[in-house]
Each structure stands twice: as C-alpha cells, then as structure tokens.
Amino acid sequence: MNHHPPSPVGRALTVVLGALPFIVITLLVFGHWPPLGRWDQSVAARAASYGVAHAGMVDFWQVIGAVTQPWVLRGVMVAVAVYLWHRRARLLTVWLVVSAGAELGLVQAAKHIFDRPRPDQMLASADSWAYVSGHATAAFVMAGALGVVLPSVRGWRRRFRLLVALPTIAVVWLTSVDRVALNVHYLSDVLGGWALGLAILTATSIGFGLRPGLRRRRRRKPDESDGTTAPPRAAVIVNPIKVGDGVAFRRKVTRALAVRGYDDPLWLETRVDDAGSAMAKQAIEYESDLVLVAGGDGTVRVVCAALAHTGIPVGVIPAGTGNLLARNLHIPLDLDDALERILEGRDRRIDLVRVHGDELDTDRFAVMAGLGLDAAIISDAPPHLKKQIGWTAYLVSAAKNINHPSVRVTLTIDDAEPIERRVRTVVIGNVGMLQANIPLLPDARPDDGLLDVVVIAPRRVTQWPIVVWRLMTRTNRTDMYLERFTGRKVEIHAAVDVQRQLDGDPIGPGRSLFTEIEPGALTARVPKRR
C-alpha cells in the first residue's frame, strides 16, 4: 500500500468541510433561528431552576469547572508536546503547540467579534462574552488532538486508542455539561465551541500533513488471519544536486528495495535552505525501518545528526565529493555495489560527536572537525572543479594554501591541563581515513567511544614532506611537526579567528570548537564482514 498525499485541492476542501459546522452554527445563532433560540432558552431555564433547588450540585459543577479550565487543558497539551519533543517527534510537537495557540487566539477573537451575552440567571460568576464556550473549545481540541489524531497518526493499536480516546471524550462531555449546568453558557455556545475545535484540528492536521497511519503500519505476526507480514518501509533522502541522473537513480534504488521486500519508499529531496534536517524528521515521523541518504558529506552529516539516538538504521549511498563516512564504513563508491552491500548488510552502532563553538549552534558530526589549514582548503576548493574532477579539487586548494599562517591554540583533552601550540591545523576525528586512503588518524575507530586528535605544525614549507611521509607511513612518533591525542572531550581555543569545518563543510571562521563523543549514537547500515 502506497501513501500518496492528498492534492492541494483535496486539502483545501477538507479544511473547508472542517470549518463548515462552525460556520453553520454561527449563522444560526446570530441569525436568530427560532428553533435554536427556543432550545437555548428552555435549557437555560431548566438549568437555572435545577441549580436553585440543588445547591450541592452547583458546588460540584463549580469544582469540575475549576479542574477543566482552558489553561489546564492547554497545559496538558503542552506537557504532551514536551514529551514528544524528548522523543524527537518534532513535527507532532510543533503541531500540538500550534493547535493549542490557535484555540486560544480564535476563542478570544470569536468572543470579541460576536459579543453574545451570557444567560441572565447564571449560577456561577463568569467574565467575557458567551460565544463560543472557551471551556468546550479547549476540551474538544485537547481530546481530539490527544485522543484521536495523535494515536491515529502514530499508528497505535485499536485497544490502546480506545484507552486514550474514552477518557478524553469523557473530559469533553463533563466540561461541556458543566458549562450548561452552571448556566454560564447556552447550549449553542457549547456546540459552537465543539465546531470551532473541529475546524482548528482539521486545519492544523492538514497544514502539518498529518494523516492516519502515516507513522506506522504495524507488522502482523505470521499466525494472524492471513499469515502475512507487512513489508518494511524505507525513506530515501536525496541531495538532487549531487545525484546526476535523478530518474535512473530513483529507478535503481526503488528496484533494489522492491527486490528485498520493501514497500515503495518515501522520497525526500533536500533544499538549498535545508541540507536534510527536515527530511530526516519526516523519515522519523514515517517510522522508517531504513533511511538511505545520498548526497555530499554535508547532507550525510545533517541527516545522521537528526537520526541520532532514534535507532533507525542509516545507509549512506556515496554521491558527493568526499564520501568520507562511506569510505570509513567500507561502503563501495559504485551505486549498484553500494546498494547491494547496504541492503544485504548489518546494523552497526557507531559514535557521533556533539560540537559547538562561537557562532556555531550545538550540532553533531560523524567524521571530522577541523580548525585552520584543513578548513581553509575545504573553503577555497572551487565548486566547479569539485564537480568536474571530484576530491582532487582539494589538491588545487591545498597548493593555494600551502603558506597558510600558523595560529596559536590552546588544546584541552578531557580534564587534563591545557596545552598550548602554534599550529597549521588541528583535526578532531571520529574516523581516520581521508580520500585516497590517507590515514590522517590511523587509530580512530567509529565505535570505540573515543575522539582522535591530530595537531599538524610544520613551521616552514620545506617541512611539509616530512609531515606527509609520516601520515602515509602511519608513524606514531611524536615531535614538533605532528602530535596525536585521544580523549572523550576536546576543546580548542585559537588566538585569532580561523576557518573551521565539520565533515567537509565549511562553517565559517571562529576561535573555538568544543567537542564531546556520543558513544553508539547512530545505527549505521554497513556491509557484512567477509
């Protein structure tokens, strides 16, 4: 079964239909439709006479009214939103907050627009105007969001949906009866509140693209009715700039997934203003069994950072200039080989590195971060050469930056005493291999729970051959030209602004990088051992 999103016309029509009950009730109320008016007055008179004769019940309903205040119900929604944020369901978090905010704003707007007086014989004090009932609207939005939409979108089983839906419906019922029993609202005020709540939920759900069953199609056990198992689901996040023939690429990936029993994949393309974060969140909301990412090192880094701690396996399809994570995970650079090795592969928990610094929000990287010459080389590599000749474009940039000035830095490893060096570059790595199998950090492993650091500090151009020789021969000797360190937390402070990079993406000049290992943060799909 494929999940095809509704067309724009279909979405607009759904929003209109959701708002139609509110429009109809509002027109009937303020058009003074006689049957509705008589009904309102009859119910209000009965509530008033009953309340006068049963003072204890009035006290009871006042307690109910205090417990079901709109701010209490909105607080419940916000609390659930906080929980969802912690669970990395960011789309649903924002949807809940927006729904609660829309309810608050629209209720207040309706009261000021319509200015409808409350019944004359109120049994409790109430401010503001009557239409619509804020209590009824808040209760309906809370119950609909938490008891109906959220369980449906997240694919809960039917019995769990009922366990949540029934109490929330009871809250709506008690809240609404309370307003009528205390004679602070006409019955039409409550019905208008329900209708406004329906309009709000419809509009926000459509606006955020929420659909029943989107998050999970649960796998059935073989001993159930038809003895079948629902196919696994995959999301494919693609940087269209990096993938040459997009049609052929899509055909190959779709075929490779179908051969292995996957359902039609969810295709997500990155944008100029988003290298993959929103797409990864959509893949999480889709509850994919596998996420494939095809793009440059920057796209891979952003997607992996967003999928950290989710447990969803990530398969890297090499499509960029460096492909450093793919190289270090021994994924072939050929598309067909890479697909076969990934889809027939195994899941491996690897580390990620949390990083922040001046002018840099907290982020993550999977490969390397650098400060100094390496970042300058990456920043100055001509884009047209990268496209034409691949990673060798960095050699052109390296020749241009061979005299890149050294900078004084302070380096702190874990809780050790800070050390000062004058360096050309400092690189912090989670893995060790560069392009052309250059072992920049030969002891680095992606799952050892450690950061590896290399400090490169030749003082003259003539000393560079010594550094290159030591790198290529994996010499572990330490001297003034090249030093290596390991730790779980690394801090770098430079005396002046210098270029910085994360996984081959320039992030602009600055003076600091603070990094800390996150052991086993990412589940990577890697080739099986041979």
The residue that leads in pLDDT, 274 or 399, is: 274
In a domain, 215, yes or no: no
Residues in a beta bridge with 236:
267, 292
- 450-505 pLDDT per residue, tens: 999 999 888 777 777 777 777 776 666 666 788 889 999 999 999 999 999 898 88
Angle between helices 8-30 and 187-207 (to 10 degrees): 170
Q: Is the pLDDT of residue 227 over 80?
A: no
- pLDDT category at 249 given cuts 50, 70, 90 is confident
Question: What is the distance between the alpha carbons of residues 324 and 205, in angstroms, rounded to a whole number?
Answer: 39
In a domain, 395, yes or no: yes
Same domain, yes or no: 139 and 175: yes
From 238-247, 313-322, 467-476, the region with the lowest mean pLDDT: 467-476
- Cβ-contact 140, 161 below 8 angstroms: no
Q: What is the CATH number of the domain that holds 12?
A: 1.20.144
Q: Is the pLDDT of residue 324 over 80?
A: yes
Q: Give residue 121's domain range.
A: 8-207
Same domain, yes or no: 202 and 250: no
Structural element, H or E, at residue 429: strand 425-429
Question: What is the distance between the alpha carbons of residues 126 and 305, in angstroms, rounded to a whole number?
Answer: 50
- Cβ-contact 342, 317 below 8 angstroms: yes
Cα 473 to the chain's mean position, in Å? Answer: 42
Query: What's the whole-number average pLDDT of the chain?
Result: 84
Same domain, yes or no: 388 and 302: no
pLDDT for position 159 = 73
pLDDT for position 172 = 92
- 68-86 pLDDT per residue, tens: 899 999 999 999 999 877 6
Q: Does residue 523 sit in helix, strand or coil?
A: strand
pLDDT for position 433 = 83
- 164-184 pLDDT per residue, tens: 889 999 999 999 999 999 988
In a domain, 451, yes or no: yes
Same domain, yes or no: 178 and 265: no
Contacts of 146 (CB under 8 A, 6+ apart): 76, 77, 80, 164, 168
Same domain, yes or no: 376 and 345: no
Q: What is the CATH number of the domain that holds 269?
A: 3.40.50.10330
Same domain, yes or no: 487 and 338: no
pLDDT for position 91 = 73
Residue 264: how many other CB atoms lie within 10 Å:
15
- 402-439 pLDDT per residue, tens: 777 889 999 999 989 999 999 988 999 999 887 767 78
Distances, alpha carbon 525 to alpha carbons 90, 306, 448, 450, in Å: 24, 16, 17, 21
Q: State mean pLDDT over 351-377.
A: 89
Q: What is the CATH number of the domain that holds 414?
A: 2.60.200.40
From 98-102, 349-353, 374-378, the region with the lowest mean pLDDT: 374-378
- 5-55 pLDDT per residue, tens: 456 777 888 889 999 999 999 999 999 999 999 999 999 899 888 888 888
Same domain, yes or no: 291 and 409: no
- Cβ-contact 131, 192 below 8 angstroms: yes
- pLDDT category at 280 given cuts 50, 70, 90 is very high
pLDDT for position 218 = 37
Same domain, yes or no: 345 and 365: no
pLDDT for position 87 = 56
Contacts of 488 (CB under 8 A, 6+ apart): 414, 449, 450, 451, 516, 517
The residue that leads in pLDDT, 366 or 126, is: 366
Same domain, yes or no: 41 and 113: yes
Residue that is last in its domain, among 353, 375, 402: 353
Residue 49: how many other CB atoms lie within 10 Å:
12
Question: What is the distance between the alpha carbons of residues 390 and 296, in angstroms, rounded to a whole number?
Answer: 11
In a domain, 337, yes or no: yes
Same domain, yes or no: 349 and 484: no
Residue that is last in its domain, among 322, 353, 384: 353
In a domain, 433, yes or no: yes
The residue among 384, 422, 421, 382 whose CA lies nearest residue 401 is 382
**Reported pTM:** 0.55
The residue among 472, 83, 520 whose CA lies nearest residue 310 is 520
In a domain, 529, yes or no: no
**What would the two tokens of residue 271 be?**
């944008």
- Cβ-contact 505, 498 below 8 angstroms: no
Question: What is the distance between the alpha carbons of residues 140 and 200, in angstroms, rounded to a whole number?
Answer: 10
In a domain, 98, yes or no: yes
In a domain, 218, yes or no: no
Q: 452 — phi, psi (to 5°)?
A: -110, 135
Same domain, yes or no: 202 and 314: no
- Cβ-contact 192, 132 below 8 angstroms: yes
Same domain, yes or no: 168 and 193: yes
- Cβ-contact 61, 197 below 8 angstroms: no
Pair type for strands 266-269 and 234-238: parallel
- 212-224 pLDDT per residue, tens: 543 333 343 344 4
Residue that is last in its domain, among 320, 353, 386: 353
pLDDT for position 306 = 94
Domain count for the chain: 3
Q: Is the pLDDT of residue 155 over 60?
A: no
